[in-house]
A and B are shown apart, each in its own frame.
Chain A
Amino acid sequence: MNEYTLNVRKKTFKRESVLGFIFISPWIAGFLIFTLFPVLYSLYLSFTMTGEGGNLKWIGFDNYLRAFGERDFWLSVKNTLILSGIGIPIAQIMALMAAILLNIRMKYQGLFRTIFFLPSVVPAVATGLLWKWILNPRLGPINGFLEELGIAGPGWLMDPAWVKPSLILMSFWGIGGTMVIYLAGLQNIPDELYEAAELDGANSWHRLKSITLPMLRPVTLFNTIMGIITSFQSFTQVIIMLDMDGGIEKSGLVYGLYIYTNAFRDFKMGYASALSWVLLIITAISIAITMKFFKDRDN
């Protein structure tokens, strides 16, 4: 290679790099302004409190220590973990069963899929109001139906013991989004595996246990992680169905709500920032545990 072509190459390479950076510059700028700076500033804020005259005062780990001594902090952690720990596994099983059902060749398959999927695109505010109305203890259709059967329905959102079951019940209405991901996963399993198993005389339970579930493990892992991320940040439906305090006896006070009220009702920006970092850490730990759980079962 002579010097001339080398120079031309260098020049085109440089030109290409510059153009590349120009094209992606909107994202770079947005990343610096709306993500990187906020992340760093949030970390800094988490070690401060707003003092007199609105000045930030460095207080070290006090926000974190204060959170660990706060009753509502632990309550919101507990509520979030209960809702996720019970809600996510059940929702996964239901979404998977729905996907298996709608993967069976039948007439009107498309229509059934549409019906199962549609609730998952309804706006969260509309879903929250609708279910608040459906679960109304006196005038709602669920308790009305139970009454016809001679059963006295529970107080649902009015009864602290029933608030969490109500929220979990409502979340089942939106499993369609998870279901279509399972459906895609099911369609990726080669038919030959089932045919071979059938020749070996495996019944449908065996086929589910030794082919479907193992082949779907990556999809299940993915869905579970997405479920964790969504569930840990859940906010909208809770504030719509209950209120800012998480309803009666704060039984629906979830972590997302606790951050929101501290930041935007009480304007404790430092404390709320510390809470958001705790959320990040709890989320990361939960995802790591989930991945380890799935990996262990692989071996």
Chain B
Amino acid sequence: MIKTNKRRKVTVYIVAIFLSLLFIFPFLWMVSTSFKTQDQIFDAPMELLPNPFVTDAYNELFTETDFSRYFLNTVFVTGMTLLGVLTSSSIVAFGFSYFKFPAKDLIFKVLLATMMLPAQVTMIPQYMLFDKLGWVGSFKPLIIPTFFGGTWVIFLLRQFFDTVPREYAEAAKIDGANELMIFFKVYLPLAKAPVATSALFVFLWTWTDFLNPLIYLHDDHMYTLSIALHRIASGTHYPNWPVLMGGSLLMALPIIILFFTSQKTFINGATISGIKG
């Protein structure tokens, strides 16, 4: 498509490699800082490699702070959110796709419109509602709403369900299947790829969420990783950078691993959430 002579090709590579180094460098700095001593940070801040190479930061994270607890809290909230969003959204998406009912298009448009609403508008009344219910300070405000469906996931799955040929359902009907069975036995098994994409992004959003845990979690033993790291960082006037970088790395690691195992899904999802969202 684009003719490239040799000189131009070399330039392209040089630019790409140079920019790659700029993008990678912060990761390297994070990893290397986490294995340094506090002394090295102050005495030789420019050395990239840890010297000596120590795991003090990680020891400190797991002994001086409740890091494993924070990690498990995050796993719990993320797991429950995945369960809630995926079950409810797939049922709702099937409802929108399979059945005809009055005002369906209008209702779906309302659903799409809610995606544009700034979280700040609903955040305060939601807080007052959960406060009335006595849920503030528990995991409930983070988890229970997810069982009512996630807009983006409903949208994504409905798009997919719309492409499933009607004949499949008709065939199942002749075999005596009702609508619930059609959903479980015909539609859901076909939707592995879009469900995986949804799961990946719900995981990403929940694992990294900061605002909701900040508003609702007040006890140290309930913190998720994002809140815990924020508290560790703002707790002292002189931040312990190896500890903060170690913690940040451990928080980012599940996502990075997931990214390398399902890179295609990640990039497709980012494109869908972009172009169609």
Contact = CB atoms under 8 A, between A and B. Distances in A.
B251 to A, nearest CB: 5
Interface in A177-232: 177-178, 180-181, 183-185, 191, 194-195, 198, 204, 219, 222-223, 226, 229, 232
Interface residues of A, number: 97
Nearest to A282: B118
Contacts of A280: 117-118, 121
A280 to B, nearest CB: 6
Contacts of B190: none
Measured as residues with beta carbon below 8 angstroms from the partner, the interface class of chain B is 35 or more
B30 A130 contact: yes
B124 A45 contact: yes
A185 B92 CA distance: 30
Contacts of A222: 274-275
Contacts of A140: 45
B104 A42 contact: no
A219 to B, nearest CB: 7
B230 A276 contact: no
B263 interface: yes
Interface stretch (B14-22, B58-66, B191-199): B14-22
A74 interface: no
A134 B29 contact: yes
B244 A129 contact: yes
B276 to A, nearest CB: 10
A39 B117 contact: yes
B164 interface: no
Contacts of A123: 207-208, 225-226, 248, 251-252, 255
A41 B125 CA distance: 6
Interface stretch (A77-85, A109-117, A158-166, A290-298): A109-117
A126 B248 contact: yes
B271 A115 contact: no
Interface in A6-43: 13, 16-17, 19-24, 26-31, 33-35, 37-39, 41-42
A263 interface: yes
Interface in B104-142: 104, 107, 110-111, 114, 116-129
B2 A105 contact: yes
A16 B122 contact: no
B104 A20 contact: yes
Contact of A233 (B2, B92, B118): B118
Contact of A125 (B15, B41, B226): B226
Contact of B275 (A42, A98, A115, A181): A181
A133 B99 contact: no
Interface in B217-273: 225-226, 229-230, 233-234, 239, 241, 244-245, 248-249, 251-252, 255-256, 259, 263, 266-267, 270-271
Contacts of A114: 263
A116 B107 CA distance: 39
B165 interface: no
A256 interface: yes
A249 interface: no
A248 interface: no
A106 interface: yes
Given A23-B91, A129-B248, A37 B125 contact: yes
B125 to A, nearest CB: 4
Nearest 5 CB-CB pairings of A with B: A30-B148, A23-B95, A20-B99, A20-B101, A126-B248
Interface of B: 1-4, 9, 12-13, 15-16, 19-20, 23-27, 29-30, 33, 41-42, 45-46, 88-89, 91-92, 94-96, 98-102, 104, 107, 110-111, 114, 116-129, 145, 147-149, 154, 179, 183, 204, 207-208, 210-211, 214-215, 225-226, 229-230, 233-234, 239, 241, 244-245, 248-249, 251-252, 255-256, 259, 263, 266-267, 270-271, 274-275
